[in-house]
């Protein structure tokens, strides 16, 4: 299996990429995942119209640090003119790639004609892409789509072809329809059909949570790169497992002690990168702390306690207690 793909001229390792996740995959999250071997990262989605009208949050959302590269900044919008202007603004932050969101299912986005609403208007989707490609110059433009709007209008292959003709340098496909939101299963058959209908790289996305499901996605769809979203919650290790496999190295899952150390580092990074006071920044870090405890004995109770955390020192104490519980449990079972 070839080890690297090209998005435009940008080389990306053919292991696994981190999916864009608004409200989750912020800079700290992306840095953690890159450090653990994510091949590629994407920013949280940014409103094209929003950044044309105001500077608020633009820098925070669009800044690309070297440790996150290769990284795409993702835009959503429904008007070609605003998309072109937004691309122009985003270029100041030197992203490696500009990605357009045509998959977001939330009413706030869809009701403006953006996100997955564009699955219903292939012509407009192509015009938006064309405008972005023209404005982006040398920087490749990619598009992230769903399988279709609803079960009776699956059109990802047709959509992908139109976007490729409009100049898209790669297509990411989440194998669910808009109507499904996140329910049911992601359909790898649609991703395979997209792969067979375009020449540009296809990024397969949906329900990949570990090495096994990653290899399944590669095998079943023939996609060029796999992208992981929710499977990386509290679990940057998933990228390490996949990276190790492709390097032919052995990978040993982290111990509970290591997990808690990484959790604390993630929390510290969030606090350092936040401009908010510790207590407020900690509110945003709570869910991440909780995710690192998934799958262990007594984790439901501890996750609940994570949602009460208001300082780093409390997180440290909770991690110690959690490790203690797992150790005593291991003692009981040995």
Ligand X SMILES: Cc1cc2nc3c(=O)[nH]c(=O)nc-3n(C[C@H](O)[C@H](O)[C@H](O)COP(=O)(O)O)c2cc1C
Strands 71-76 and 97-102: parallel
Residue 230 binds ligand X (CB under 6 A): yes
CB of 18 to ligand X, least distance (A): 9
Nearer to ligand X by Cβ, of 72 and 84: the residue is 72
> 63: buried, middle or exposed (CB in 10 Å: 19+, 13-18, 0-12)?
middle
Catalytic residue chosen out of the listed positions 33, 52, 62, 104: 104
Contact between 44 and 253 under an 8 Å Cβ cutoff? The reply is: no
CB of 321 to ligand X, least distance (A): 28
Number of residues in contact with ligand X, rule: CB under 6 A?
Answer: 22
- Between 232 and 271, how does the x/- string for binding to ligand X read (CB under 6 A)? ----------------------------------------
Q: Select the residue interacting with ligand X from 206, 234, 236, 254 (CB under 6 A).
A: 206
Dihedral angle, C-alpha 131, 134, 139, 144, nearest 10 °: 30
Nearer to ligand X by Cβ, of 101 and 326: the residue is 101
Q: Where are the alpha helices (DSSP H) in the chain?
A: 27-35, 48-53, 58-62, 80-90, 107-110, 122-136, 156-165, 188-197, 211-221, 237-247, 256-273, 278-291, 299-306, 312-333
Nearest alpha carbon to residue 226 among 27, 23, 73, 37: 37
CB of 153 to ligand X, least distance (A): 19
Residue 277 binds ligand X (CB under 6 A): no
Residue 70 binds ligand X (CB under 6 A): no
CA angle 157, 176, 183 (to 5 degrees): 170
Residues 14-43 that bind ligand X (CB under 6 A): 19-24
Contact between 38 and 27 under an 8 Å Cβ cutoff? The reply is: no
Residue 229 binds ligand X (CB under 6 A): yes
Query: Buried b vs exposed e over 12-26: b needs ≥16 C-beta within 10 Å?
Result: bbbbbbbbbbbebbb
Residue 187 binds ligand X (CB under 6 A): no
Q: Select the residue interacting with ligand X from 26, 187, 207, 243 (CB under 6 A).
A: 207
Whether 62 is a known active-site residue: answer no
Residue 144 binds ligand X (CB under 6 A): yes
Catalytic residues: 104
Residues in contact with ligand X by CB under 6 A are 19-24, 44-45, 74, 101, 103-104, 144, 174, 205-208, 228-231
């Amino acid at each position: 299996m070839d080890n690297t793909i090209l998005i435009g001229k940008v080389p990306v390792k053919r292991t696994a990429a981190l999916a864009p996740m608004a409200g989750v995959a912020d800079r700290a999250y992306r840095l953690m995942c890159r450090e653990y071997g994510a091949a590629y990262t994407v920013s949280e989605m940014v409103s094209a119209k929003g950044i044309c009208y105001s500077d608020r949050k633009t820098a925070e959302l669009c800044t690309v640090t070297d440790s996150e590269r290769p990284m795409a900044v993702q835009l959503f919008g429904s008007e070609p003119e605003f998309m072109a202007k937004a691309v122009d603004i985003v270029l100041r932050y030197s992203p490696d790639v500009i990605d357009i969101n045509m998959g977001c299912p939330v009413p706030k986005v869809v009701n403006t004609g953006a996100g997955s609403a564009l699955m219903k208007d292939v012509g407009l989707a192509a015009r938006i892409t064309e405008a972005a490609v023209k404005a982006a110059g040398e920087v490749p433009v990619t598009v992230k789509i769903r399988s279709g709007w609803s079960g009776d209008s699956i059109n990802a292959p047709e959509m992908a072809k139109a976007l490729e003709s409009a100049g898209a340098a790669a297509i990411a496909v989440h194998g669910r329809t808009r109507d499904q939101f996140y329910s049911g299963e992601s359909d790898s058959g649609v991703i395979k059909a997209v792969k067979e209908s375009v020449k540009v790289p296809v990024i397969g996305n949906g329900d990949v949570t570990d090495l096994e499901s990653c290899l399944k996605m590669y095998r079943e769809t023939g996609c060029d790169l796999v992208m992981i979203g929710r499977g990386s919650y509290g679990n940057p290790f998933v990228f390490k497992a996949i990276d190790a496999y492709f390097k032919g190295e052995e990978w040993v899952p982290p111990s509970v002690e290591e997990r808690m150390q990484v959790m604390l580092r993630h929390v510290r990074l969030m606090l350092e990168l936040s401009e908010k006071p510790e207590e407020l920044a900690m509110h945003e870090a709570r869910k991440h702390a909780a995710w690192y405890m998934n799958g262990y004995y007594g984790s439901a109770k501890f996750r609940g306690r994570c949602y009460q955390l208001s300082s780093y020192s409390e997180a440290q104490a909770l991690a110690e207690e959690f490790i203690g519980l797992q150790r005593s449990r291991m003692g009981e079972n040995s």
